[in-house]
């Protein structure tokens, strides 16, 4: 499997490339966006690891240019913990997943395996959990084949829950991602969860968003 790593931090790039090569991957590294975009447009890769904060051309522009050119290669964003708003823009632009720095190598491998299992197809960008399918390109959600209309904030909440399915999320984590603000998080998160539950209940008898007492919420199928 061929992987392109676009990362300007030499230590991080070395850590990733060395580890992947030990796992049997073929790795190329670009240390700026201009070089990375050139490689992406002229060579075939199975997966791209893309840092957002890179020189010459930033990661979001690399992503945008690649998608506009019809490149459907799965792209995993690498981002600093303080750049959640960039993650949202990246997902909107066409990335397939994201990983927050610092991360463990085992988690990176798991995310890569998940992306490559989807395959490099026209539907490779879709995010799935059980009978839920979310399309980050169109922001459309379908459950059991039926469409659910989402507002912008509802979409962001569903996107976060699906990408972290079966893992409890605190109200603070949800508020920081959806609103980039944890202030007054309890009330606003609870209100939007109720909105989503009502919409889901109109088309499905399965419960998906469950309350975790004393913590927050979890996306988990309950029939």
Tell me the pLDDT tens digit for each residue of 146-156.
Answer: 999 899 889 98
Q: 154, 139 in Cβ contact below 8 A?
A: no
- Residue 163 is predicted with a pLDDT of 85
Question: What does the pLDDT look like over 47-104, one tens digit per residue?
Answer: 999 998 899 999 989 998 998 888 888 899 888 755 566 667 767 777 888 888 878 8
Please, what is the average pLDDT of the chain? 86
Cis amide bond preceding 102, omega within 30: yes
Q: What is the pLDDT of residue 218?
A: 95
Does one domain contain both 54 and 19? yes
Spatial distance between the Cα atoms of 147 and 155, rounded to a whole number of angstroms: 13
| 22 and 97 assigned to the same domain | yes
Rounded to whole angstroms, the Cα distance separating 154 from 174 reads: 11
Query: What is the DSSP secondary structure assignment for residue 204, as one 8-state letter?
Result: -
The CATH number that applies at residue 42 is 3.40.50.2300
CB within 8 A of 112, min separation 6: which ones? Answer: 3, 47, 76
For residue 177, what pLDDT is reported? 82
Examine the pLDDT at 122 and tell me if it is beyond 60.
Answer: no
- Check whether 30 has a pLDDT greater than 80: yes
Q: What is the dihedral of CA 213, 218, 219, 223, to 10 degrees?
A: -20
Do residue 114 and residue 27 come from a single domain? yes
Structural domain count of the chain: 2
75, 161: one domain: no
Instruction: Give the domain extent around 159.
Output: 127-222
Enter the tokens of residue 44: 């075939």
Question: Is residue 89 located within the same domain as residue 44?
Answer: yes
Stated pTM of the model? 0.56
pLDDT of 121? 47
> In terms of domains, do 83 and 189 share one?
no
Residue 171 has pLDDT above 50, yes or no: yes
The tokens of 210 are what? 């469950």
Nearest C-alpha neighbor of 122 from the set 180, 59, 73, 75: 73
Most confident residue range from 48-52, 138-142, 177-181: 48-52
- pLDDT at res. 222: 87
Nearest partner of 52 among 26, 76, 68, judged by Cα:
76
Same domain, 72 and 151: no
């Amino acid at each position: 499997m061929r992987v392109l790593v676009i990362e300007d931090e030499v230590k991080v790039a070395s850590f990733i490339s060395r580890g992947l090569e030990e796992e049997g991957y073929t790795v190329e590294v670009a240390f700026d966006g201009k070089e990375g975009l050139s490689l992406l447009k002229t060579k075939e890769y199975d997966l791209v690891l893309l840092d957002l904060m890179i020189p010459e051309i930033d990661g979001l522009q690399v992503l945008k240019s690649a998608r506009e050119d019809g490149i459907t290669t799965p792209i995993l964003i690498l981002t600093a913990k303080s750049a959640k708003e960039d993650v949202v823009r990246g997902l909107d632009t066409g990335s397939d997943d994201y990983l927050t720095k610092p991360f463990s190598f085992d988690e990176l491998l798991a995310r890569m395996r998940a992306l490559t299992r989807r395959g490099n197809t026209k539907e490779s960008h879709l995010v799935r959990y059980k009978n839920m399918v979310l399309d980050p390109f169109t922001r459309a959600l379908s459950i059991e084949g039926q469409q659910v209309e989402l507002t912008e904030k509802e979409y962001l909440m569903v996107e976060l829950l699906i990408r972290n399915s079966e893992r409890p999320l605190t109200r603070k984590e949800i508020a920081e991602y959806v609103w980039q603000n944890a202030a007054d998080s309890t009330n606003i998160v609870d209100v939007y969860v109720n909105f989503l539950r009502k919409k889901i209940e109109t088309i499905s008898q399965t419960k998906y968003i469950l309350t975790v007492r004393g913590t927050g919420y979890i996306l988990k199928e309950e029939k």
